[in-house]
Amino acid sequence: MKRWTIKDIAKKAGVSITTVSRVLNQKEEGMSQKTREKILKVMEEVDFQPNQFARGLVTKQSKTFGLIVPNISNPYFPELCRGVEDEANEREYSLIICNSDDQSDKEKRYLRLLEEQQVDGIIFSAKDYLDPSDEEQLSRAKIPFVLIDRGKNEKKHSCVFLDNDKGGYLAGKHLIELGHRKIGCIIGPRSISLTNERLEGFKRALSESGVELLPAHIIEGNFQMEMAYDKSKDLLMKKEVTAIFAFNDVMAFGVYRMAHELGIHIPTELSIVGFDDIPFVSVLIPKLTTIRQDTYQMGREAVKLLIQKLENAETKSVMFNPTLIVRESSTSPNLLL
């Protein structure tokens, strides 16, 4: 089956290629309504599908965004991707999603790929900071970008991020108000700023009530379930804490699993608070108390911010506020323990 080109349409309609391009790109000033309708009729007759790349040569836009995420298998990121995609689609943009696995070399390869695809802009939810070489590449290619979820400290760039300090504080305050004094936590990598922000907020909530977070009760994880499962065993077996704050819900799942294997009942023997409020928390028994961040809306906001940059409008970074969602996994401690 023949694939019709702009040249073919122009020949069949008896007009110039430039005239057809003007119709495609809605630049029809000085053109009669009769000519416009004739071209559109020909396109309909042959079921013409314009080549997006070819249109981009005229409009200087590909109508495509790139999104780089560090780990698509983490349930947090599909919700973020959905928010980005929905907002992009509503504004008639397509989306290319790239999973970097938190690897700098993969991220650089994807940057080159997105440049080759001539994307109009890029949304990063990848590393904790923007590598100078990446920034140089984006600047050279003149590709606007927005940081999301990580990279809050990049003051000179447009960002969408969460008040992670407040999130940590809400978790600590909740456990303190329940009466817990022997508290532990499973944090993310210390190299990531959001880990340190959540930890600072958590510590502040405890210190306000005179509770010390012992170094031995801080377990460094990697935001993955298996590591939280393995590393929580020693702490749970010693029964030195009555509550654990996991810095994301996925690590909270690992603590649930280990507690179950050790015969530790949640929440009467161990209270657990997570972070993110990903969709899967509803299937846990008991249901998980967690800190909610509106990941979906953050994704949508990142697209809005990126489009503002494309329109050369003034942009300001956007901070989202977390909320405490109290469910069944947290209660007052059993003081007999």
pLDDT at 128: 65
Alpha-helix runs per DSSP H in the chain:
6-13, 17-24, 33-45, 52-59, 76-90, 104-116, 132-141, 164-178, 193-207, 225-238, 249-261, 295-310
Task: Tell whether domain 6-59 is in CATH 3.30.470.20.
Answer: no
pTM exceeds 0.75: yes
CATH H-level, domain 64-162+295-320: superfamily = Response regulator (3.40.50.2300)
221's CB contacts (< 8 A; 6+ apart) are: 186, 187, 188, 189, 227, 228, 231, 246, 247, 251, 254
90's CB contacts (< 8 A; 6+ apart) are: none
Per-residue pLDDT of the chain (337 residues; tens, 9 = 90+): 567 778 888 888 888 888 887 777 666 677 888 888 888 888 888 877 665 544 554 445 679 999 999 888 888 899 999 999 999 999 999 999 999 887 888 888 999 899 888 899 999 886 666 777 888 888 888 899 999 986 555 567 889 999 999 999 999 999 999 999 999 999 999 988 899 999 999 999 999 999 999 999 999 999 999 999 999 999 999 999 999 999 999 999 999 999 999 999 999 999 999 999 998 887 899 999 999 999 999 999 999 999 999 988 888 889 999 999 999 999 999 754 4
CATH H-level, domain 164-294: superfamily = Response regulator (3.40.50.2300)
The whole-angstrom separation of Cα 196 and Cα 217 is 15
The whole-angstrom separation of Cα 248 and Cα 292 is 10
pLDDT at 335: 55
**Domain locations along the chain:** 6-59, 64-162+295-320, 164-294
pLDDT at 50: 65
Asked if the domains at 64-162+295-320 and 164-294 fall in one CATH topology, the answer is yes
Distances (CA, A) of 254 to 70, 226, 274: 20, 6, 11
